[in-house]
Structure 1
Amino acid sequence: MSKPKVKTITICSSASFFKQAVEMEAKLKKLGFKVELPPTALKMKRSNDFNVLHYKTWFKNPDDYKKKGFLLREHFNKVIRSDVVLILNYEKHGIKGYIGGNTLIEMGFAFHYKKPIYILNRISGLPYKEEILGFQPIFINGDIKKIV
């Protein structure tokens, strides 16, 4: 008898939440999932430097937007290869359940490729709430054991 396939979860979030993404990776692995993180979150994990501005070099050097494009494409590919997407959305800029531009795009990829989209926390105050709800996500209210 063969072992059941281990589900792969790709974590998507604002770069400001990458420390929480690394912490979530450990929790999900304990539950038996294979976990994919954004490329920059992996760098942050290795260096233990979670200061986002140390990685967003394109603000000082516009030529580095090529690097930004590479990172986007790398993470989109992880979304496509995964079974499930988990959106980490904490408070940012005074907005509870913040989901930024990159994460919204990643959700669009997941939706297009028919991947279940789990959102960790409820959303509020986002101008694109309508689009997020159109992706038909599953809100788990902080309970990762609801991911199936």
Structure 2
Amino acid sequence: MGFDVETCIIGDERRDTHFKFSPTEVTRSAAETNSTPLPKPAHAREPAVMNPYSSYPDAPFHVVICGSMSALPQMEDVAGHLRTAGYRVSTPVPEETVVNWNELPLEEAIAHKRMFLTDYFETIRHGDAVLIFNASKQGIEGYVGANTLMEAACGQALGKPVLYFNPIGDQSCRLEAAAVATAVLDGSIDRLLEELNSLKLVAV
């Protein structure tokens, strides 16, 4: 039995010790069901910008981008602008796209999904701001999917600023998405950079 879920984002730093289900357990589960084991993500670059939120004085300000994997090219474009401006950025990596959720047995799908979610929540915990890249999807402008809403709520619960890149779309979770927002932007890179800069000034 399988089910359909939205792809979540995995951060640019993956630590196996953060998995509630270890990679060995997941690989063994995949082998038992004749599924393909999940690959490990690559590591992103780390620009040298000082992070006033961090207890480590040399740590760069870390922006964690969340959104649907269908918008990955646009998210990488935004990440490129932020890295050029000196930020460290966690962006999606495509591991989860190799998983065919509809063909997995429910128990195995839950184990895989829990691994992805646990890993990314840990990335958010170590980040300094969460950027929700809510691109158009399923005919809805500013779409926020189930995984993305969970990540936004995780950031808010951990006291991280949660920024929406675009106005929140007209959908069933619009109220909940807005309730955890620190700011809702207008799809402008310049506005995003201004907002991130203001967050750093507040922290000084």
* Interval of TM-score (by shorter of Structure 1 and Structure 2): 0.7 to 0.9
Q: TM-score, normalised by structure 1?
A: 0.82
Detail structure 1 runs of 4+ shifted over 6 Å in the superposition: none
Shift of 1:22: 2.0
Q: Deviations over 1:41-88 (max 9, x none)?
A: 3246xxxxxxx7x52322212224322221111111111110000000
- By how many angstroms is 1:95 displaced? 0.4
The separation in 2 between residues aligned to 1:147 and 1:75, in whole angstroms, is 23
Q: Which residue of 1 aligns with 2:64?
A: 10
Counterpart of 1:56 in structure 2 is: 99
Query: Could you tell me which residue of structure 1 aligns to residue 34 of structure 2?
Result: none
How is 1:1-148 mapped onto 2 (pairs within 5 angstroms)?
A: 4-5=50-51, 6-37=60-91, 41-43=92-94, 54-62=97-105, 63-143=108-188, 144-148=192-196
Is the Cα contact below 8 Å between 1:90 and 1:98 reproduced in 2? yes
> 1:87 touches 1:120 (CA, 8 Å); kept in 2?
yes
Structure 1 residues 110-142: Cα deviation after superposition (integer angstroms, max 9, x where no partner) = 010110011110012111111112113311212
Is the radius of gyration larger for structure 1 or structure 2? 2
2 CA distance for matches of 1:103 and 1:27? Answer: 22
Letter in 2 for 1:72: L
Instruction: Give the residue type in structure 1 aligned to 2:78.
Output: M
Q: In angstroms, what is the RMSD of aligned CA positions?
A: 1.8
- Cα contact 2:63–2:90 (8 A) shared by 1: yes
Number of equivalences: 135
Are the structure 2 counterparts of residues 67 and 118 from structure 1 closer, same or farther at C-alpha, using a change threshold of 3 Å?
same
Cα pair 1:58 1:68 within 8 Å, conserved: no
Letter aligned with residue 25 of structure 1: A
- Cα pair 1:12 1:87 within 8 Å, conserved: yes
Where do 5+ consecutive residues of structure 1 fail to align?
45-51
Identity of aligned pairs, percent? Answer: 25
Partner amino acid, structure 2, of 1:21:
M
Task: Look up the SS of the partner of 2:66 in the other structure.
Answer: strand
Normalised TM-score (structure 2): 0.61
Q: Which residue identity lines up with residue 147 of structure 2 in the other structure?
A: N
Q: Is the alpha carbon distance of 1:119 and 1:66 closer, same or farther for their aligned partners in structure 2, counting shifts above 3 Å?
A: same
CA distance in 1, matches of 2:128, 2:69: 22
